[in-house]
Structure 1
Amino acid sequence: MNPSKNLLALLPLLAAFATLQAQAATDAGNALAPASAAQAEAVPMTDGEIRKVDAAAGKLTIKHGPIANLDMGAMTMIFRVQDPALLGQVKEGDQVRFSVIRANGALTVTTLVVQPPGK
């Protein structure tokens, strides 16, 4: 058999392998989705203060206390928000309690509750 025929014989196998890999990746993503949602519900809340709302970028800058589930100390940093509607609930200076997870490589706020003044 010449090399061209070998290559032509392998093409259907390579296509099938690529299809199987794509399906496995999709299945893995679907399997993780419910766990991520459950994980988000179990994440502890952290106290913080909104420093900036960037609705165009879908991000909040929050000065926060320690974030236990991420083993992160107190600091000021930028977070993505899981639900863009959260951005309309806060303004600069608001005291909040929030939960954050690492989703798709980004620190993402999943829950946000504005605290009444004086708390």
Structure 2
Amino acid sequence: MKKIAIASLVMAAASISFAQSTMGDMKGMDMAKKPVVGAQTVHAANGTIKKIDVKAGSVVISHGPVSSLNWPPMTMGFKVKDKDLLAKLAVDKKIDFSFIKEGDDYVVTTVK
């Protein structure tokens, strides 16, 4: 019985040692904390409004790079968290905005 207990302790110690040694392999990973809303990461970008769909509560934005997602500049559709945000928007208006991912959608949460 002592041999089993000792073998278990040795295996546990070896596992911990291995896990600690492999953490060094993560040096290139971006481990910086990002702002969060609840458990969601908040992303920020700037762009130009291309289309507004009040009924659907969505906008199409031609935006610059989003470094927190490693996205290049692109044009894409976003839902809006609060349809009252749509009143602040107009086609061809330049904006700074924040967004989160909810399910399969990217959702604008603030607009400046």
- Specify the TM-score bucket, using the shorter chain as the normaliser: 0.5 to 0.7
* Structure whose residues are more often strand by fraction: 2
Residue 83 of structure 1, CA deviation: 1.2
Work out the number of aligned pairs and report it: 76
- Whether 1:67 and 2:66 are equivalent positions in the alignment is yes
**In structure 2, what residue type is equivalent to 1:107?**
Y
Query: Structure 2 length as normaliser, TM-score?
Result: 0.62
Question: Which structure 2 segments of 5+ residues have no match?
Answer: 1-36
Residue 58 of structure 1, CA deviation: 0.6
Query: Structure 1 length as normaliser, TM-score?
Result: 0.58
SS at match of 1:72: coil
Question: Which structure 1 segments of 5+ residues have no match?
Answer: 1-32, 114-119
Match of 2:86 in 1: 87
- Residues 58-116 of structure 1: CA deviation (Å, up to 9, x unaligned): 10010100112222110111111111111111110110001122112211111111xxx
Match of 2:30 in 1: none
Q: 2:38 aligns with which of 34, 43, 50?
A: 34
Residue correspondence of structure 1 range 1-119 to structure 2 within 5 A: 34-36=38-40, 39-40=41-42, 43=43, 45-113=44-112
- Aligned equivalents of 2:110, 2:67: Cα separation in 1: 15
Contact residue 48 and residue 63 of structure 1 kept, 8 A: yes
**In structure 2, what residue type is equivalent to 1:48?**
G
Runs of 4+ in 1 over 6 A off after TM superposition: none
* Structure whose residues are more often helix by fraction: 1
